[in-house]
Copies of this chain bind each other. A is one copy, B any other.
């Protein structure tokens, strides 16, 4: 087993760590996602615990401690929460397979477990387990499980189990669908019904309180010599199962298979569940077509790190989740937990554009474009949202559902974190430039550009006496400064958006007004040139971190009141530094260093979005030790329980950016016209290599401490610059550049 490709749960099994592994082991076809829960489940971990979740800052929110938390998600399928608004619903689980030996059920916490190995093969996206257990009667039983969400058939989920007992035994198998689940403690089921549709098939119809509907069907099969299995069907109102018992001889292996298929009211075309479940294709063939797709994905995306297997594996875990989570549907985006948990309610934030999009744009741009197309499709929602706040034009919601409607239940973010509307335009421009299709902006995205510009012109104030316009009452990326004036990040992004919009303006008056506003929106600076996060920053209180932040294993916000955060110089996350990461050429190294020195001591990194930005900026400043520390911090966020509530997918998207844009030193298409690289490898790495799709041309970059090579995998010449050297690389050829640092 290649440890750079395998994520392995340590032995012995520890139920206290299960939720973290459920997050990490989430599998998905894009269409359908399931957390890495145990097939036979764990007793004492009920999934129908009801509680009322209240609007709160998710970063500081405490979720009820459960040993296991199932998650079955079909993006686009929502429930209506009475307090939180619309949220992605946790759907009935179809994972259940429980083996019984002479009536004794496999149960990891109480059975006499000899071996329990569980591993996710990142290369194939297959989750497998090996369990050996001794029964009360003294037999030794080996059980293996494999499962995958078919990348080739996104509505299909495939499972296989083998059971071998060293003594003759009655082996029973129960395989079910369980709808008695909750979404963050809430039951969204409006109507549930089960039906046995064939001897070896059952089906669940699940209607939600939004009117959304899901159908889940499962087919079971026992590979035995004894012909047809006599399946018993049991319908318990909120759950159903098919079960069978076989008399096995000592050492005999039984093969069990379960396939589940899902369709929903969000599907453009309902999937034919019968057809999917009656496929003649066997398990191995299904697996092979699935693996083919994953192999192709990795070819276009894998980032290779030689000399650091831990970083290598963890980065691959990041890319696995990025690829797994992408819904492959331009009516959807990726939520902050990557459909691996319900904490962020399956809604879409600014992370889409600023943290996730680059990975897709430079590895599989059609999928990047789907994410930006999603925002174009959500324009009507943004129009309604602007109107709700009393403005013309379009204002994108802070927490968007698939319709583009605002679902954020906390007013401080919803009302004041307006930068998302500019971030959307940045994402559209990035998609256009990365694919060398500027027409995307004046064609597909023109209405978004115009409508958001109209919103900004109404939202921007002109204070008496000021010769410049101002954006007031704004929360920037740093969410610990809730209502500020002229946040630098927001103003720069809005100026960018207005500038882009000018190309799509209908009429000179609007165009000129947008350009003039873009040119005059201020970036506040201190007398010594320091870029101010907002006008007020230096009027905030100093905070005694040493006295107030005793337990550094928990966020600062867990140890002080929100009221103190809101009046103090403390940052939840990078703000000015993110601006400088996005617009690197607008700030000198000295200015970036000044901002680094000033803001870093105030930055709590309470948000997972923060460390990665710091890693990239540290690399620009040549602060290799700090860059390494922030890289490791960002990379490992989801390990050791970090993924309990799902994957921090924005950080994972940023981890690709650290690796490729930071260590690899790739300039984005927002920053350079030709492929431009300035690799900066950590000493402990021997080689960093990655594919990149630059404006339609495939290339492959390899960097060592001595040389950088760029292979042009396209069929036309590729202009490239590495450090100060610029070359034209013929089609299909590979060019080595002297390493700038070495020369």
Interface positions of A (Cβ within 8 A of B): 52, 54, 82-83, 388-390, 411, 415-416, 461-464, 470, 472-473, 482-483, 485, 535-536, 539-542, 548, 560-564, 566-568
Q: List 20 A-B contacts (CB under 8 A).
A: A54-B83, A83-B83, A388-B561, A390-B560, A411-B562, A415-B562, A461-B541, A463-B539, A463-B540, A463-B541, A464-B542, A470-B541, A472-B541, A472-B567, A473-B541, A473-B563, A473-B564, A473-B566, A483-B483, A483-B566
How many angstroms from the CA of A461 to the CA of B569 in the assembled complex? 12
A184 CB, nearest partner CB in chain B, Å: 15
Q: Are B390 and A561 in contact (CB under 8 A)?
A: yes
Residues in B with CB closer than 8 Å to A548 are 390
- Write the chain B residue with the least CB distance to A52: B82
How many angstroms from the CA of A405 to the CA of B724 in the assembled complex? 66
Residues in B with CB closer than 8 Å to A82 are 52
Q: Are B390 and A564 in contact (CB under 8 A)?
A: yes
How many angstroms from the CA of A548 to the CA of B562 in the assembled complex? 32
Q: Are A567 and B473 in contact (CB under 8 A)?
A: yes
A694 CB, nearest partner CB in chain B, Å: 41
Residues in B with CB closer than 8 Å to A54 are 83
Q: Are B415 and A539 in contact (CB under 8 A)?
A: no
How many angstroms from the CA of A388 to the CA of B564 in the assembled complex? 12
Which residue of A388, A535, A566 has the most chain B CB atoms within 10 A of its CB atom? Answer: A566
Q: Are A415 and B483 in contact (CB under 8 A)?
A: no
Residues in B with CB closer than 8 Å to A83 are 54, 83
Residues in B with CB closer than 8 Å to A560 are 390
How many angstroms from the CA of A463 to the CA of B470 in the assembled complex? 25
- Write the chain B residue with the least CB distance to A539: B485
Residues in B with CB closer than 8 Å to A536 are 536
- Those 9 A-B pairs whose CB atoms lie nearest each other, nearest first: A473-B567, A461-B541, A415-B563, A472-B567, A389-B561, A390-B561, A472-B541, A473-B566, A390-B560
How many angstroms from the CA of A566 to the CA of B416 in the assembled complex? 10
How many angstroms from the CA of A70 to the CA of B156 in the assembled complex? 57
- Write the chain B residue with the least CB distance to A418: B563
Residues in B with CB closer than 8 Å to A483 are 482-483, 566-567
How many angstroms from the CA of A482 to the CA of B463 in the assembled complex? 19
* Neighbour of A540 across the interface among B411, B472, B561, CB < 8 A: B472
A685 CB, nearest partner CB in chain B, Å: 41
A386 CB, nearest partner CB in chain B, Å: 10
Q: Are B463 and A389 in contact (CB under 8 A)?
A: no
Residues in B with CB closer than 8 Å to A52 are 82
User: Besides the contacts A463-B541, A472-B541, what 9 more A-B pairs have beta carbons closer than 8 Å?
Assistant: A83-B83, A415-B563, A463-B540, A473-B541, A473-B563, A473-B564, A473-B566, A483-B483, A536-B536
Q: Are B567 and A389 in contact (CB under 8 A)?
A: no
How many angstroms from the CA of A270 to the CA of B483 in the assembled complex? 51
A541 CB, nearest partner CB in chain B, Å: 4
Number of copies: 2
How many angstroms from the CA of A568 to the CA of B54 in the assembled complex? 30
- Write the chain B residue with the least CB distance to A564: B390
Which residue of A464, A563, A568 has the most chain B CB atoms within 10 A of its CB atom? Answer: A563
- Write the chain B residue with the least CB distance to A471: B567
Q: Are A563 and B416 in contact (CB under 8 A)?
A: yes
Q: Are B567 and A461 in contact (CB under 8 A)?
A: yes
Residues in B with CB closer than 8 Å to A411 are 562
Q: Are A561 and B464 in contact (CB under 8 A)?
A: no
Residues in B with CB closer than 8 Å to A539 are 463, 472, 485, 535
A538 CB, nearest partner CB in chain B, Å: 8
Q: Are B473 and A542 in contact (CB under 8 A)?
A: no
- Write the chain B residue with the least CB distance to A474: B567
A559 CB, nearest partner CB in chain B, Å: 8
A551 CB, nearest partner CB in chain B, Å: 14
- Write the chain B residue with the least CB distance to A464: B542
A629 CB, nearest partner CB in chain B, Å: 28
How many angstroms from the CA of A562 to the CA of B411 in the assembled complex? 9
- Write the chain B residue with the least CB distance to A470: B541
How many angstroms from the CA of A415 to the CA of B560 in the assembled complex? 12
How many angstroms from the CA of A52 to the CA of B566 in the assembled complex? 30
How many angstroms from the CA of A442 to the CA of B564 in the assembled complex? 32
Residues in B with CB closer than 8 Å to A415 are 561-563, 566
Q: Are B542 and A461 in contact (CB under 8 A)?
A: yes
* Neighbour of A463 across the interface among B463, B485, B542, CB < 8 A: B542
Which residue of A535, A541, A568 has the most chain B CB atoms within 10 A of its CB atom? Answer: A541
- Write the chain B residue with the least CB distance to A542: B464
Residues in B with CB closer than 8 Å to A535 are 539
Residues in B with CB closer than 8 Å to A541 are 461-463, 470, 472-473
How many angstroms from the CA of A464 to the CA of B541 in the assembled complex? 8
Residues in B with CB closer than 8 Å to A463 are 539-542
How many angstroms from the CA of A473 to the CA of B676 in the assembled complex? 46
How many angstroms from the CA of A649 to the CA of B479 in the assembled complex? 38
- Write the chain B residue with the least CB distance to A415: B563
- Write the chain B residue with the least CB distance to A560: B390
How many angstroms from the CA of A483 to the CA of B542 in the assembled complex? 16
A376 CB, nearest partner CB in chain B, Å: 25
How many angstroms from the CA of A318 to the CA of B389 in the assembled complex? 38
A78 CB, nearest partner CB in chain B, Å: 19
How many angstroms from the CA of A560 to the CA of B387 in the assembled complex? 11
How many angstroms from the CA of A389 to the CA of B485 in the assembled complex? 26
Residues in B with CB closer than 8 Å to A568 are 461
How many angstroms from the CA of A428 to the CA of B719 in the assembled complex? 79
Residues in B with CB closer than 8 Å to A464 are 542
A150 CB, nearest partner CB in chain B, Å: 42
A86 CB, nearest partner CB in chain B, Å: 16
A628 CB, nearest partner CB in chain B, Å: 32
Residues in B with CB closer than 8 Å to A567 are 461, 472-473, 483
How many angstroms from the CA of A462 to the CA of B568 in the assembled complex? 11
A656 CB, nearest partner CB in chain B, Å: 35
How many angstroms from the CA of A83 to the CA of B52 in the assembled complex? 10
How many angstroms from the CA of A485 to the CA of B54 in the assembled complex? 30
A406 CB, nearest partner CB in chain B, Å: 12
A456 CB, nearest partner CB in chain B, Å: 14
A564 CB, nearest partner CB in chain B, Å: 7
A119 CB, nearest partner CB in chain B, Å: 44
A244 CB, nearest partner CB in chain B, Å: 46
- Write the chain B residue with the least CB distance to A465: B538
- Write the chain B residue with the least CB distance to A391: B561
How many angstroms from the CA of A688 to the CA of B564 in the assembled complex? 50
A571 CB, nearest partner CB in chain B, Å: 16
- Write the chain B residue with the least CB distance to A482: B483
How many angstroms from the CA of A536 to the CA of B536 in the assembled complex? 9
How many angstroms from the CA of A485 to the CA of B538 in the assembled complex? 12
